[in-house]
């Protein structure tokens, strides 16, 4: 859910919340005979009492269990289930649109970490209901399913209600991308009501790493889907909120956010700001040589550790919330990651009645729900996953007509708007000049300025005033307006 925390990640569940894609898709596709494959066609064929299993001959190692689970928003149909990848099982939620599920677009939402459950996005940010008090879920009028059908997926295995039979794990975004792409293909192929519908892949924080690679895998997989006689996925756009797409662009921005009036009055001491600025050139030289010009894993990780100690660690001495620097950290970052209300989500998802309604696998009945898995986060860190930028994936998707929305709450420090603005301005693609020469201009919601934006040739960057890391939580009305305009292809 949250952007990378450096060394703090190993102590406090990596992140809270929100390599290159394979050149060719490796699943052994085969053409199929209509007599061997019968799709479900419509979701209304599913029941509340048991899972139905979806599959496809083109994905012999993948299947999907799905059931009705109307637990959150009585006005729409809701479904839960598992993506089964042999002995690995990824949990998901799916909500139909409140407007018109038969024609509205489909959005997939993934929180970050790596290792954090998308239940945080569902129950704290943009889902049909929120669990912000001990009283349980309440209706969210600003849910993104106002005008879209929305998925929430706990991935990779070991996150949220996802599990493995024998301790199997996934430790890189590249590995995880294949399972997500297979699930998407199986779902759309089985439920023909969604075939050809515009599909948008969205996420926040480490989603800045996940979403470009997942979308690239979905896009590249389309050629194999066509060859197998299946309908290609209509990948309309990717959407990233306060993402960690280019980790290296964040370090100078960390200094500016606390020393240079980038969103609030400077909160770091004069001495700390001087020390950070003095360390920055060495940080740049070391990471450029060890992580960018060539990738020396040992030296790159040493550079990361130096940059963390010199540039990130001083922030935590301020006592501020790293995900909203306009506020102090509440409840201790180790216990609640500065958001005590997250405990209510955990308590809700630990209720046996809720787990039964969701269809959570019985093997998890003795385990308490955790919003973030330190085990998964540590595995990704051990493979230096975050140290490989995914900005080039974004550039390649843009070249292929996949529109991209990068948005950021201005009060977030960990995955801040300055770092995200810088990588979008530096992005090398055919629309670079048109995009980078556009000035930031104000955008409004109900006559009030909501933030600033620039856009050209399918790439849009937007800030949201008064919001931190979790924009749909801090500014739900503005976040919904932004997404509704994006889906309708309006400018902000």
Catalytic sites, residue numbers: 205, 412, 469
What percent of the chain is helix, strand and coil (3-state, nearest 5)?
40, 20, 40
Instruction: Give dist(CA 492, CA 489) in Å, integer.
Output: 9
**Which whole-number Å values give the CA distances from 69 to 84, 194, 355, 463, in the listed order?**
18, 19, 10, 35
Backbone angles phi, psi at 93, to 5 degrees: -115, 145
Instruction: Give dist(CA 437, CA 202) in Å, integer.
Output: 26
Strands (E), 249-377: 320-321, 324-328
Q: How many CB atoms lie within 10 A of CB 71?
A: 18
**Which whole-number Å values give the CA distances from 283 to 310, 313, 382, 416, in the listed order?**
9, 14, 21, 19
Instruction: Give dist(CA 357, CA 45) in Å, integer.
Output: 18
Contact by Cβ (8 Å): 204, 242: yes
Strands (E), 98-139: 105-110, 129-130, 138-139
**Which whole-number Å values give the CA distances from 478 to 68, 339, 422, in the listed order?**
31, 21, 23
Instruction: Give dist(CA 170, CA 383) in Å, integer.
Output: 11
Structure-token pair, residue 347: 């308590």
Contact by Cβ (8 Å): 182, 146: no
Residue 191's contacts (CB-CB under 8 Å, 6 or more residues apart) are: 39, 40, 41, 42, 43
Instruction: Give dist(CA 155, CA 74) in Å, integer.
Output: 26
**Which whole-number Å values give the CA distances from 481 to 6, 200, 352, 488, in the listed order?**
33, 16, 36, 11
């Amino acid at each position: 859910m949250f952007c990378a925390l450096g060394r703090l990640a190993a102590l406090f569940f990596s992140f809270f919340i929100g390599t290159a894609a394979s050149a060719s898709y490796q699943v052994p596709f085969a053409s199929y005979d209509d007599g061997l494959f019968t799709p479900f066609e419509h979701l209304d064929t599913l029941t509340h009492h048991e899972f139905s299993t979806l599959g496809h001959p083109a994905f012999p190692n993948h299947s999907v269990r799905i059931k009705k689970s109307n637990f959150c928003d009585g006005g729409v149909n809701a479904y839960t289930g598992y993506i089964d990848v042999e002995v690995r099982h990824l949990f998901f939620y799916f909500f139909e649109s409140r407007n018109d599920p038969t024609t509205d677009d489909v959005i997939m939402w993934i929180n970050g970490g790596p290792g954090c459950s998308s239940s945080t996005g569902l129950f704290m940010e943009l889902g049909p209901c929120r669990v912000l008090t001990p009283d349980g879920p309440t209706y969210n009028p600003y849910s993104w399913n106002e005008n879209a059908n929305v998925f929430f997926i706990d991935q990779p295995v070991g996150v949220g209600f996802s599990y493995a039979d024998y301790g199997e794990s996934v430790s890189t975004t590249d590995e995880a991308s294949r399972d997500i792409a297979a699930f998407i293909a199986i779902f759309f192929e089985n439920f023909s009501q969604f075939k050809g519908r515009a599909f948008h892949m969205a996420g926040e924080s480490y989603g800045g790493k996940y979403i470009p690679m997942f979308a690239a895998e979905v896009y590249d997989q389309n050629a194999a889907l066509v060859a197998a006689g299946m309908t290609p996925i209509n990948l309309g756009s990717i959407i990233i909120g306060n993402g960690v797409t280019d980790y290296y662009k964040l370090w100078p921005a960390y200094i500016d956010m606390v020393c240079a009036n980038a969103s609030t009055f400077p909160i770091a001491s004069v001495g700390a700001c001087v020390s950070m600025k003095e360390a920055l050139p060495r940080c740049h030289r070391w990471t450029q040589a060890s992580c960018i010009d060539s990738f020396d894993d040992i030296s790159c990780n040493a550079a990361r550790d130096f940059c963390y100690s010199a540039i990130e660690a001083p922030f935590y001495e301020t006592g501020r919330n790293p995900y909203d620097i306009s506020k102090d950290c509440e409840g201790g970052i180790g216990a609640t990651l500065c958001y005590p209300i997250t405990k209510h989500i955990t308590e809700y998802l630990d209720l046996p009645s809720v787990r039964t309604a969701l269809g959570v696998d019985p093997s998890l009945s003795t385990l308490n729900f955790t919003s973030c898995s330190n085990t998964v986060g540590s595995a990704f860190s051990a493979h230096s996953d975050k140290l490989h930028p995914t900005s080039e994936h974004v550039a390649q998707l843009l070249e292929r007509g996949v529109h991209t929305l990068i948005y950021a709450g201005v009060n977030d420090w960990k995955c801040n708007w300055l770092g995200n603005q810088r990588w979008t301005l530096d992005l090398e693609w055919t629309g670079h000049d048109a995009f980078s020469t556009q000035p930031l201009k104000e955008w409004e919601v109900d006559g009030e300025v909501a933030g600033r934006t620039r856009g050209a040739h399918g790439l849009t960057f937007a800030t949201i005033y008064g919001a931190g890391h979790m924009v749909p939580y801090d500014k739900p009305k503005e976040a919904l307006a932004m997404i509704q305009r994006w889906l309708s292809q309006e400018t902000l």
